[in-house]
């Protein structure tokens, strides 16, 4: 929204602070500083009253806004900006007839100005008279073709007339001027949706979320678009993302779009991508995904929104990558990890998702690579490493995931390479070293 005050060279500190807060849309602070400006007996009372009146209007204090703006008008009855600002105030109050009267009064005192046509177009648009709105906005754009608000408004008018291709033209122009304008991006996304250009709509919604990631309406809209694309599980995942921001809103969308149904996503080649079932507003039952070649990618199960039971991930070639049990959404018990060839990579126990107890890792040829104990994700006690030939490579002692105590390193031929003592991960004294023939090396 444009704010015009004739003779802007106004240097009083209180007024400047009021103006700064007004432009930052911090209206209560703006009113506070403008009150101080007016109460201090400023010589520029007209300007202070005008800005305070508009700040009150934006804050919903329409009675106070009218009083300030009419008082300002009495002080300067020939100023077009006084009438323009009254039009803004009456627009906020949805008194559109009065808003038109004051904008016409401003026009009568002025040469053609794009912002006056823009305001008149906006009022006609709010009155649902889109033909007149477009006529007035066309006049504004002839005077200022690169004005962001005029192009946005024109896009809005054509959108409401369901002329989406024309609306898109104006939205594109406005966003070339201000690429990250939230409302502009949201408006264009709605236009793309009505043109069934869903991927383009997702791009605009993601752009908003890149700057404002916790905007619930945009996350919900993204879910709706995914549903239109028949990407049902992605849609429900978007609605799930809402839970930490607005749980009530999330439940409403999940119940509307996802509840008590098996949701299936498909690849463009017609093969299944994902199956998930929602019951009572949460994921319940089998959750299956596939690679685009038709091979399984994931098998898991949900109970009341949490993963429970057997969990298996696959490589694209169909071989198992890892498998184990889930309890209350966390990996628990014995887990097995595999190479893409199908050979065992590692095995061990997990507790609340962390390595716990003895773990073993293997080379792809089946030889033991390493073994050691963990305590809730932290290495503890003796750890042994082997070469791919099976020969001993090294051993260390750990305490709380930090090397602590005696260690030895070996050459693959079995000769000792180095030995020493570590204290909290650092050498306690100078270690001894040998060459691969068994001869000790000097310090």
- Quote the domain boundaries for residue 49: 1-110
Helix (H) / strand (E) element for 171: namely helix 164-177
- pLDDT tens-digit readout, 111-131: 889 999 999 999 999 999 999
Euclidean distance between CA atoms 266 and 186, whole angstroms = 27
Q: Is residue 342 part of a domain?
A: yes
Concatenate the DSSP letters of all residues of 173-224 into one string: HHHHHSTT-HHHHHHHHHHHHHTT-HHHHHHHHHHHHHH-TT-HHHHHHHHH
Sign of CA dihedral 3, 6, 12, 14: negative
The answer to whether the pTM exceeds 0.75 is no
pLDDT given for residue 259 in this prediction: 74
Q: Is residue 400 part of a domain?
A: yes
Indicate if the pLDDT at residue 9 is higher than 70.
Answer: no
Query: In total, how many domains does the chain have?
Result: 2
Euclidean distance between CA atoms 442 and 67, whole angstroms = 94
- pLDDT tens-digit readout, 126-180: 999 999 999 999 999 999 999 999 999 999 999 999 999 999 999 999 999 999 9
Q: What CATH number corresponds to the domain at position 22?
A: 1.25.40.10
What are the C-alpha distances in Å from 82 to residues 26, 32, 61, 64, 147? 22, 22, 18, 16, 22
Q: Is residue 173 part of a domain?
A: no
Binned at pLDDT 50, 70 and 90, residue 345 comes out as very high
- pLDDT tens-digit readout, 63-107: 998 898 899 889 888 888 889 989 998 999 999 999 999 999 999
Indicate if the pLDDT at residue 188 is higher than 60.
Answer: yes
Q: What CATH number corresponds to the domain at position 319?
A: 3.90.930.1
Of residues 135 and 234, more confidently modeled: 135
Q: Is residue 210 part of a domain?
A: no
Indicate if the pLDDT at residue 410 is higher than 90.
Answer: yes
- Given 80, 110, 140, which residue is the final one in a domain? 110
Q: In the chain, pLDDT over 90 holds for what percent of residues?
A: 66
Euclidean distance between CA atoms 128 and 122, whole angstroms = 10
User: Would you say 121 and 141 are in contact if contact means Cβ atoms under 8 Å apart?
Assistant: no
Vertex 310 angle, CA 306 and 315, to 5°: 105
Q: Which residues contact 237 (CB under 8 A, 6 or more apart)?
A: 223
Indicate if the pLDDT at residue 4 is higher than 50.
Answer: no
Helix 45-58 / helix 13-23 crossing angle, nearest 10 deg? 30
């Amino acid at each position: 929204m444009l704010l015009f005050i004739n003779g802007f060279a106004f240097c009083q500190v209180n007024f400047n602070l009021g103006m700064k807060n007004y432009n930052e849309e911090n209206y209560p602070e703006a009113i506070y500083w403008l009150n101080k400006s007016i109460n201090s007996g400023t010589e520029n009372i007209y300007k202070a009253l005008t800005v305070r009146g508009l700040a009150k209007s934006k804050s919903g204090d329409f009675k106070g806004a009218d009083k300030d703006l009419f008082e300002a008008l009495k002080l300067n009855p020939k100023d077009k900006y006084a009438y323009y600002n009254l039009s803004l105030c009456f627009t906020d109050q949805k008194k559109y007839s009065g808003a038109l009267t004051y904008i016409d009064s401003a026009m009568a005192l002025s040469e053609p100005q794009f912002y006056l046509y823009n305001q008149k177009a906006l009022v006609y648009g709010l009155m649902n008279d889109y033909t007149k709105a477009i006529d007035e906005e066309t006049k504004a754009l002839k005077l200022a073709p690169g004005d962001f608000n005029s192009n946005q408004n024109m896009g809005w008018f054509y959108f409401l007339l369901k002329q989406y291709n024309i609306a898109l033209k104006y939205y594109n122009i406005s966003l070339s001027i201000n690429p990250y304008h939230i409302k502009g991006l949201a408006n264009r996304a709605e236009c793309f949706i009505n043109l069934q250009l869903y991927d383009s709509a997702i791009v605009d919604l993601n752009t908003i979320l890149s700057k404002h990631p916790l905007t619930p309406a945009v996350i919900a809209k993204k879910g709706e678009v995914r549903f239109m694309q028949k990407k049902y599980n992605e849609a429900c995942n978007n609605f799930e993302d809402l839970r930490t921001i607005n749980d009530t809103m999330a439940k409403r969308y999940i119940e509307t779009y996802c509840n008590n149904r098996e949701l299936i996503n498909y690849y463009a080649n017609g093969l299944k991508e994902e199956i998930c079932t929602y019951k009572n507003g949460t994921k319940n039952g089998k959750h299956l995904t596939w690679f685009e070649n038709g091979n399984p990618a994931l098998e898991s199960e949900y109970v009341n929104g949490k993963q429970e039971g057997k969990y298996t991930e696959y490589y694209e070639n169909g071989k198992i990558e890892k498998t184990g049990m889930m309890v209350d959404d966390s990996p628990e018990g014995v887990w097995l990890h595999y190479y893409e060839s199908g050979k065992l990579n590692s095995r061990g126990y997990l507790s609340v998702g962390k390595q716990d107890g003895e773990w073993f890792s293997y080379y792809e040829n089946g030889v033991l690579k390493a073994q050691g104990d963990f305590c809730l994700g932290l290495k503890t006690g003796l750890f042994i490493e082997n070469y791919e030939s099976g020969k001993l490579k090294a051993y260390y002692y750990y305490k709380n995931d930090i090397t602590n105590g005696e260690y030895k390193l070996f050459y693959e031929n079995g000769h000792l390479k180095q030995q020493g003592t570590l204290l909290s991960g650092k050498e306690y004294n100078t270690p001894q070293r040998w060459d691969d023939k068994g001869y000790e090396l000097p310090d």
